[in-house]
């Protein structure tokens, strides 16, 4: 039985910290001013030891901060995240799974998912993500996708929860093979996490919104590299049994009568 209380739980402290850190890093004044102080202040303190070290550290960090938003740096970092993503072979699957990442990313994901459904790649589109699941379904309905072909959960707050909650809903209904839709930087971590939950995954990337600033793009890439390391160290990419974990998923739409038809 699905636990409705999960959707009403507060946002995790880690996500609050991540949001605060992101805002801090994307506000140049909060970064540049302290680093300039680190560069010049040691030379104003006569008896301070390691002046060259602290001043040099500040200079290096300033260079890293500004160079991180260069188009070439972003392109190289992005290439590192997408190099190992396998191509889409064009085969049919049991379901299309669309991951949420906030309002700016929805339109492109809805476009990709709708095209895949119209190409008859899968009979179901399932949207996953707190604040995104319901909105993605509404946009798909506006594009003419029938209500019976849509499902969603809007409780997951992390990529791990995306995979865990999606597997707990879809796998008991026979869904094993999925087309996974998310942006290129997020795809590798999502692919490995969903595979760890027992899905056979075909990745299908959706474009990064063009209106994102270079600083925001750099932050996305930074978080994905950190996420890969964090998930890897915690064993999130290893095979899990979603039934044994018994996640308290809540508020799932339209899947009561859905089962994959075996060919």
Q: Is the pLDDT of residue 2 over 70?
A: no
**pLDDT for position 67:** 86
5 occurs within a structural domain: no
- Looking at the fold, whether 27 and 86 belong to one and the same domain comes out as no
- Looking at the fold, whether 109 and 43 belong to one and the same domain comes out as no
263 occurs within a structural domain: no
Q: Regarding predicted confidence, which is higher, 9 or 142?
A: 142
- Looking at the fold, whether 36 and 147 belong to one and the same domain comes out as no
257 occurs within a structural domain: no
- Looking at the fold, whether 59 and 114 belong to one and the same domain comes out as no
Domain count, the chain: 2
pLDDT-wise least confident of 63-67, 80-84, 96-100, 145-149: 63-67
- Looking at the fold, whether 197 and 236 belong to one and the same domain comes out as yes
- Looking at the fold, whether 14 and 108 belong to one and the same domain comes out as no
- Looking at the fold, whether 47 and 104 belong to one and the same domain comes out as no
Per-residue pLDDT, averaged over 187-213, amounts to 95
Q: Which long-range contacts (CB under 8 A, 24 or more apart) does 245-249 make?
A: 245/164, 245/168, 246/168, 247/161, 247/164, 247/165, 247/168, 248/2, 248/3, 248/5, 248/6, 249/2, 249/3, 249/6, 249/153, 249/155, 249/165, 249/168, 249/169
Per-residue pLDDT, averaged over 162-182, amounts to 95
- Looking at the fold, whether 53 and 98 belong to one and the same domain comes out as no
**pLDDT for position 12:** 65
**pLDDT for position 5:** 57
- Looking at the fold, whether 129 and 223 belong to one and the same domain comes out as yes
73 occurs within a structural domain: no
- Looking at the fold, whether 134 and 240 belong to one and the same domain comes out as yes
Q: What is the mean pLDDT of the chain?
A: 86
Per-residue pLDDT, averaged over 119-127, amounts to 97
**pLDDT for position 137:** 96
């Amino acid at each position: 039985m699905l636990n409705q209380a999960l959707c009403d739980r507060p946002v995790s402290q880690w996500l609050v910290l991540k949001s605060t850190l992101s805002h801090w890093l994307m506000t140049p004044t909060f970064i540049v001013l302290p680093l300039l102080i680190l560069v010049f202040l040691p030379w104003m303190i006569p008896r301070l030891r390691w002046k060259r070290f602290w001043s040099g550290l500040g200079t290096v960090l300033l260079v890293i901060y500004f160079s991180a938003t260069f188009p070439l740096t972003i392109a190289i970092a992005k290439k590192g995240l997408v190099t190992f993503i396998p191509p889409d072979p064009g085969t049919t699957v049991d379901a299309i799974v669309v991951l949420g990442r906030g309002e700016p990313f929805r339109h492109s994901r809805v476009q990709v998912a709708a095209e895949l459904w119209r190409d008859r790649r899968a009979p179901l589109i399932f949207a996953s993500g707190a604040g995104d699941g319901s909105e993605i379904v509404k946009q798909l309905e506006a594009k003419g996708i029938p209500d019976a072909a849509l499902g969603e959960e809007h409780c997951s707050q992390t990529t791990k929860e995306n995979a865990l909650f999606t597997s707990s809903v879809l796998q008991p209904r026979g869904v094993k093979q999925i087309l996974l839709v998310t942006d290129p930087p997020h795809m590798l971590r999502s692919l490995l996490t969903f595979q760890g939950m027992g899905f056979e995954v075909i990745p299908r990337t959706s474009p990064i919104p063009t209106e994102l600033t270079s600083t925001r793009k750099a932050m996305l890439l930074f978080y994905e590299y950190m996420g890969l390391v964090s998930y890897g160290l915690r064993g999130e990419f290893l095979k899990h049994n979603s039934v044994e974990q018994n996640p308290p998923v809540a508020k799932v739409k339209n899947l009561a009568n859905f089962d994959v038809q075996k060919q």
